[in-house]
Amino acid sequence: MTNLFRLKLWIRTLALVLPVVFSFTTLDAIAALNPDEQLNNNRQQFMPRSPLVERLQVLFAELKIYSGVIDGRLNDDLTAAVQHYQSRAGLTVDGKVSEELLAHVEFKSEAEALLVRLDVVGSEQRVKAREKLQSVALTRSLLDPARKNQVADLTRNRDICFQAPTVDCLVFEAIESAKAVGRPHFRDWTYGEIAVVQARLGQVEAARETAGRIQDPRLILVTLRNIAVALAKADKIQLALDSAAIIPDEWLKAEALVAIAVAQTRNGGWPQARQTMREIEQLINLPETTGDIDFKKTALTTGMARKLVKAGDPSAAVRIMKGERDRIKALMIVDPSTKKRSGVSASLSTLAAGFAQIDEAEEARKLLDFAVDIVHRRSVSVALARAYGRAGQDEPATAIINALEEPRYRSILLADMARYQALSGIDDRARINLARAETAVAAIAQGQKFAINHARERIATSWIALGDLGQAGEAALRITDAGIRTGVWWQIAVAHIDAGATQLAQKSTNNAIASIASVKSTLDRVWLYCGRVQIMAERRNNQQALLAFSKAMEIARGIRHSWTRAQALVRLVEAFSALPGPLAGSKSNSLKN
């Protein structure tokens, strides 16, 4: 096996098995683009992740030409990295992501230098993952080679499922499509997502069976964690506990238990949640020999705190955050040089931002004062401005926003401030901030298209919060990204429905459908329609939910590329399961009609 081929195999799995490695180096880049509020995060909700994009992000990060977020989604930083690489390599500079570009990066870039640093680590990780899976009887069978490299049944009639869909046949078609995927990493990725959907539906044994199809033992471990997390999110708590119990990796088990503790809290089982949190604490305090354990502990604690607040237990969130703060401070007092370690330094900024995100603004401010040279200070400032805004403290929030030099951050924060003010009934101030946000958008460099579109999305949704749907529509028209524009039009349509303006709601829906037609990726179009299904199903708008699902099915039916089809089918299963139960007997007939 050549060194270049070994590099290719290593890169295929890096993104999923090392999810935290790059996270604390990119806080500033994502601080304004990934808010703690999910309401306006249409990109995350509707647009699919791509293993192609994620592997390029990982590889460009290794080549030191990309410092953005590793999330499998296109962004301005990645486009700039692609253009930089194309220029350096003598390729046509168009900034486009493609399999041809990935192949060039993998095989013709600084492959040998990367191998020296990365290949041994990857091999050791695979060996350790295999040993962990072999240590537990229930996971040992997942390594059975007979489950791997199964061949798709090319003689099957796919049209039967598309004509009369059921959950089982859609899952079956997704698995058969995954079998036909040529690239092992793409295939493993898809199996992992199918397993998560099966778990969400309560099909635990089927989910584990699907996990056993994955070749890379590291990805099997990650999928086992994801199965437990999916069960917890679906409030299948006992099944989640059973699934977490068999995970033979302490850290991944702790991450699964975080989701379970949140689910227990959400469902009123506070004593059980406290017990789960004690178990998490024991797991993360076990000896750790890989990674930056200081930062990993802080990241896990901060993430759990945010989720606990949303689940209804802010006191527990504050308690564990203060405990983590005291731990980090104690490390620095015992050994002041500890502060220079990247993990501890990143922990301070993550903690400060975390306190702000759970609306403990003064705790965040104290940490900023405690560590005047804190890294990622801007990301903390962004989170702090939002905390002040949510609390109605406009003066300190505005002071922070005014101090930010980059207009991409100012524009989004000003739009957020406007939304907070609109929700509090302070309409005049909200309009002033939206005008300032528009001015800031105009100052963003034209090459930063994603930042511009994201800011315009935030402005549009703030106009929705104000109840000025005409201005929201004007903002939507200025969004050049068809996917983001679609999400905004659908939010406007929902607002019109709530206001009883049926004709205007239909007009906005038509605008959304027209925007989807401009989305080049068939997979993106399927995801957008499936997102619409879930929104309409939650609102008990059965007719619109069914209509959106039929559109998604129509697009997916024409997909010939096996990986794309498998990904589309995974999303279709989720959307189908969201359709209202009383329609179970009429779904197929309604779709055909």
Please say if the pLDDT value at position 32 is more than 50: no
Tens of pLDDT along 208-245?
A: 999 999 999 999 999 999 999 999 999 999 999 999 99
Quote the pLDDT of residue 339: 52
Structural contact between residues 136 and 252, judged by C-beta atoms closer than 8 angstroms: no
Tens of pLDDT along 104-132?
A: 887 655 554 554 555 566 677 888 988 99
Quote the pLDDT of residue 373: 66
Across the range 560-568, mean pLDDT stands at 91
Across the range 77-85, mean pLDDT stands at 87
CA distance 510 to 504: 10
* CA distances, 323 to each of 56, 181, 297, 320, 483 (Å): 38, 47, 11, 5, 42
This prediction's pTM = 0.81
Q: pLDDT > 90: what percent of the chain? A: 57
Per-residue confidence band for 296, with pLDDT thresholds at 50, 70 and 90: confident
Structural contact between residues 400 and 385, judged by C-beta atoms closer than 8 angstroms: yes
SS (H, E, C) 395-437: HHHHHHHHHCCCHHHHHHHHHHHHHHHHHCCCHHHHHHHHHHH
| Token pair in block for residue 422 | 């609109």
Please say if the pLDDT value at position 159 is more than 80: yes
* Coarse DSSP helix, strand, coil percentages of the chain, rounded to the nearest 5 percent: 75, 0, 25
Higher pLDDT, 186 or 103: 186
Buried-state track 332-370, b at ≥16 Cβ within 10 A, e below 16: beeeeebbebebbbbbbbbbbbbbbbbbbbebbbebbee
Quote the pLDDT of residue 338: 55
CA distance 412 to 459: 8
CB neighbours of residue 12 within 10 Å: 23
CA distance 156 to 28: 50
Nearest 5°: the CA angle 381, 382, 388 is 85
Structural contact between residues 228 and 244, judged by C-beta atoms closer than 8 angstroms: yes
SS (H, E, C) 226-254: HHHHHHHHCCCHHHHHHHHHCCCCHHHHH
CA distance 136 to 143: 11
Structural contact between residues 349 and 357, judged by C-beta atoms closer than 8 angstroms: no
Across the range 572-578, mean pLDDT stands at 92
Q: pLDDT > 70: what percent of the chain? A: 84
Across the range 274-290, mean pLDDT stands at 85
| Token pair in block for residue 254 | 């702790």
Averaged pLDDT score across all residues of the chain: 84
Quote the pLDDT of residue 433: 97
Radius of gyration of the chain from its Cα atoms, rounded to whole angstroms: 24
Please say if the pLDDT value at position 588 is more than 70: no
CA distance 443 to 203: 51
Across the range 22-26, mean pLDDT stands at 37
CB neighbours of residue 498 within 10 Å: 10
Quote the pLDDT of residue 355: 97
CA distance 32 to 166: 40
Across the range 441-460, mean pLDDT stands at 93
Structural contact between residues 192 and 223, judged by C-beta atoms closer than 8 angstroms: yes
Across the range 454-461, mean pLDDT stands at 96
Helices (H) and strands (E) in the chain, counts: 32, 0
Phi-psi region of 90 (alpha: psi -120 to 50; beta: other; left: phi over 0): left
Quote the pLDDT of residue 353: 93
Tens of pLDDT along 312-355?
A: 999 999 999 999 999 988 887 766 665 555 557 778 888 999 99
CA distance 538 to 563: 29
Per-residue confidence band for 288, with pLDDT thresholds at 50, 70 and 90: low
CA distance 225 to 255: 7
Please say if the pLDDT value at position 22 is more than 50: no
Structural contact between residues 315 and 269, judged by C-beta atoms closer than 8 angstroms: no
